[in-house]
């Protein structure tokens, strides 16, 4: 369906010129010669863009601008004015107009301004849909917990959310829920109504990460056929979550530091500084202080990011929360899959609480998801959990414990070695870690593991692994 434009101007020649020009460009065009007709057209079918003259027979463009913006704030309005009225057009910009054109309007300028305004509205719509989806995803995944460590984490997060502090640095083992804390800070802050955008610095090729963050101008490099807005610009007023920040190349660390210090930056190939207001939330499971000492991460950027540090404990150090998390995921997946599971038996709960959880919340979530999908019943019992490859011989022995016992300590035991089971668990652990490192980019994961992509996809299917295994 073509984008629609409402042209409001009392001069027949201008209306006809714009109608022909814009229709030839693929737009659906409607016209109005006065304010009353413009209001009727706007209310009958809300346009994607309004071209509005400042002077009309029965009202002023500024009056209509206020009415349109009060009714539909997201619809862009471009004012049209004579050269002598540029000052009034500037006032219109302060009242919410997207841009202005001076008469006589040139053909190329008209096309360019309209294209830019409609593309801006389209991106705003996409961002709003993304924001709502992220809020729903966060709500489905949120379990605060009752352990003292997590009570302290959320107390700190709440204080930070309500403050003007810009940078928050979240650390913790893989799978501990760093993204959930980032979402919590955003949703609890005055910025909650603005975008929450995220990028995994390990998932995007280094040569493209700069363009992803800062955007680029048309012609900035070979494939830059159009202008691209970066995540910093799109997140203006909201939050940008930089996951796996330790993977950011040194050359880009310099540019990010400058942007954080001044909240200004330039698109790749640009000549104009852009100012934004963005809260930066960053996370890593790496030892960044060690990377700073080794010269692999800039110390000045590290300290700029580390305004407020939040350290997430591994799941084995917050065992009080395991039953809450298990029941949360049980209800979630039972509903999603149409299964009958309603609760966890005391025996199964004991197994879950005693297990070491090297994969943290992600591993627990995957266990519950697989069990709900493959087993039957209303009560999750011990016998259901034996299908979980995350558990080794003895029910609650972790993979590392199994390897330590058999290879290092030489304790084979009368039952022998479950070779196939252990090798499957090793393979799954390697694929999972490589996938997390690359942000679940299968091509890069296969390259990292030294295998072909088809083989990786086959092994992932065998293990029941996919990107949905990431903690939302």
Choice between 48 and 465, residue whose per-residue pLDDT is larger: 48
What CATH number is attached to the domain comprising 328?
A: 1.10.8.60
Choice between 44 and 203, residue whose per-residue pLDDT is larger: 44
Q: Are residues 338 and 440 in the same domain?
A: no
Tokens standing for residue 216: 């680029």
Residue 37 to residues 62, 95, 428, Cα–Cα distance (Å): 16, 22, 66
Rounded Cα distance between 94 and 144, Å, is 42
Q: Are residues 167 and 307 in the same domain?
A: yes
Choice between 468 and 441, residue whose per-residue pLDDT is larger: 441
Choice between 139 and 29, residue whose per-residue pLDDT is larger: 29
Rounded Cα distance between 383 and 405, Å, is 25
Q: Are residues 285 and 171 in the same domain?
A: yes
Q: Are residues 405 and 380 in the same domain?
A: yes
Phi/psi for 287 (5° steps) reads -90, 85
What CATH number is attached to the domain comprising 285?
A: 3.40.50.300
Q: Are residues 285 and 332 in the same domain?
A: no
Q: Which of 122, 149, 171 is the last residue of a domain?
A: 122
Q: How many domains is the chain partitioned into structurally?
A: 4
Q: What range does the domain containing 17 cover?
A: 4-122
Owner of token pair 């558990």? 391
Rounded Cα distance between 192 and 174, Å, is 26
pLDDT of residue 387: 37
Q: Are residues 407 and 426 in the same domain?
A: no
* DSSP secondary structure, 124-182, as one string: HHHHHHHHHHHHHHHHHH-----SHHHHHHHHHHHHHHHS----EEEE-STTS-HHHHH
pLDDT of residue 131: 61
* Residue 132 included in any domain: no
Q: Which of 256, 284, 312 is the last residue of a domain?
A: 312
* Residue 135 included in any domain: no
Rounded Cα distance between 9 and 103, Å, is 12
* Residue 302 included in any domain: yes
Q: Which of 92, 122, 152 is the last residue of a domain?
A: 122
pLDDT of residue 70: 87
The model's pLDDT over 425-457, given as tens digits with 9 standing for 90+, comes to 788 888 888 887 887 888 889 889 999 888 888
* Residue 188 included in any domain: yes
Q: Are residues 104 and 234 in the same domain?
A: no
Q: Cβ neighbours of residue 276 under 8 Å, at least 6 residues apart?
A: 232, 233, 235, 236, 237, 263, 264, 265
Average pLDDT, the chain: 85
Reported as type and span, the H/E element at residue 423 is helix 419-437
Q: Are residues 363 and 457 in the same domain?
A: no
Q: Are residues 471 and 399 in the same domain?
A: no
Of 218, 9, 264, which Cα lies nearest the Cα of 112? 218
What CATH number is attached to the domain comprising 111?
A: 3.40.50.2300
The model's pLDDT over 385-420, given as tens digits with 9 standing for 90+, comes to 853 444 433 344 556 666 777 777 777 666 677 676
pLDDT of residue 49: 94
* Residue 66 included in any domain: yes
What sign does the CA torsion over 41, 42, 43, 46 have? positive
Q: Are residues 100 and 210 in the same domain?
A: no
Reported as type and span, the H/E element at residue 266 is none
The model's pLDDT over 249-273, given as tens digits with 9 standing for 90+, comes to 998 999 999 999 999 999 988 888 8
Does 291 have pLDDT greater than 70?
Answer: yes
Longest CA pairwise span in the chain (Å)? 97
Does 467 have pLDDT greater than 70?
Answer: no
Q: Are residues 462 and 333 in the same domain?
A: no
pLDDT of residue 389: 42
Rounded Cα distance between 388 and 363, Å, is 10
Phi/psi for 339 (5° steps) reads -100, 170
* Residue 292 included in any domain: yes
The gap from C-alpha 117 to its chain's centroid, in whole angstroms, comes to 24
Pairing, β 49-53 against β 28-32: unpaired
Residue 346 to residues 103, 127, 236, 291, 382, Cα–Cα distance (Å): 77, 44, 49, 44, 9
pLDDT band at 32 (very low <50, low <70, confident <90, very high): very high
**Backbone region of residue 246 per phi and psi (left: phi > 0; alpha: psi in -120 to 50; beta: other values):** alpha
Of 26, 25, 22, 91, which Cα lies nearest the Cα of 50? 22
Rounded Cα distance between 368 and 314, Å, is 18
* Residue 195 included in any domain: yes
Q: Are residues 237 and 286 in the same domain?
A: yes
Q: Cβ neighbours of residue 351 under 8 Å, at least 6 residues apart?
A: 382, 385, 395, 396
* Residue 392 included in any domain: yes
Percent of the chain with pLDDT over 70: 88
Rounded Cα distance between 440 and 244, Å, is 13
Phi/psi for 270 (5° steps) reads -90, 165
The model's pLDDT over 358-372, given as tens digits with 9 standing for 90+, comes to 788 988 888 898 889
Phi/psi for 7 (5° steps) reads -100, 125
What CATH number is attached to the domain comprising 471?
A: 1.10.10.60
């Amino acid at each position: 369906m073509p984008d629609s434009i409402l042209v409001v101007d009392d001069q027949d020649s201008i209306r006809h010129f714009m109608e022909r020009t814009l229709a030839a460009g693929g737009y659906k065009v409607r016209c109005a010669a006065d304010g009353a007709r413009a209001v009727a057209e706007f209310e009958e079918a809300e346009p994607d863009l309004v071209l509005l003259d400042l002077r009309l027979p029965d009202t002023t463009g500024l009056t209509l601008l206020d009415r349109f913006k009060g009714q539909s704030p997201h619809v862009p309005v471009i004012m049209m004015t004579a050269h002598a009225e540029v000052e009034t057009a500037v006032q219109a910009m302060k009242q919410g107009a997207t841009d202005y054109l001076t008469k006589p309007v040139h053909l190329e300028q008209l096309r360019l301004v309209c294209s830019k305004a409609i593309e801006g509205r389209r991106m705003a719509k996409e961002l709003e849909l993304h924001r709502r989806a992220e809020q729903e995803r966060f709500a489905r995944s949120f379990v605060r917990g009752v352990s003292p460590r997590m009570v302290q984490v959320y107390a700190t997060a709440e204080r930070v959310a309500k403050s003007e502090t810009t940078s928050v640095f979240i650390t913790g083992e893989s799978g501990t829920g760093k993204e959930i804390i980032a979402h919590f800070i955003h949703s609890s802050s005055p910025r909650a109504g603005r975008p929450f955008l995220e990028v995994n610095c390990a998932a995007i090729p280094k040569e493209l990460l700069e363009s992803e963050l800062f955007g680029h101008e048309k012609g900035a490099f070979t494939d830059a056929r159009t202008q691209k807005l970066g995540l910093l610009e799109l997140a203006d007023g909201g939050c940008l979550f930089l996951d796996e920040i330790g993977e950011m190349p040194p050359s880009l660390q310099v540019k990010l530091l400058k942007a954080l210090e001044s909240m200004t930056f330039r698109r790749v190939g640009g000549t104009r500084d852009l100012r934004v207001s963005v809260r930066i939330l960053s996370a890593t499971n790496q030892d960044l202080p060690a990377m700073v000492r080794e010269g692999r991460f800039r110390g000045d950027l590290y300290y700029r990011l580390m305004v407020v540090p939040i350290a997430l404990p591994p799941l084995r150090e917050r065992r009080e929360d395991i039953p809450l998390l298990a029941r949360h995921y049980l209800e979630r997946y039972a509903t999603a899959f149409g299964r009958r599971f309603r609760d966890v038996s005391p025996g199964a709960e004991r197994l879950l609480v005693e297990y070491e959880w090297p994969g943290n919340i992600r591993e627990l979530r995957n266990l519950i998801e697989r069990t709900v999908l493959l087993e039957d019943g209303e009560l999750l019992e011990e016998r259901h959990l034996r299908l979980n490859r995350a558990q080794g011989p003895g029910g609650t022995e972790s993979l590392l414990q199994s390897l330590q016992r058999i290879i290092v300590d030489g304790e084979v035991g009368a039952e022998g070695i479950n070779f196939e089971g252990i090798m499957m668990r090793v393979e799954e652990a390697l694929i999972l870690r490589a996938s997390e490192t690359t942000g679940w980019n299968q091509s890069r994961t296969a390259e990292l593991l030294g295998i072909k992509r088809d083989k990786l996809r086959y092994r992932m299917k065998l293990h029941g692994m996919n990107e949905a295994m990431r903690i939302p």
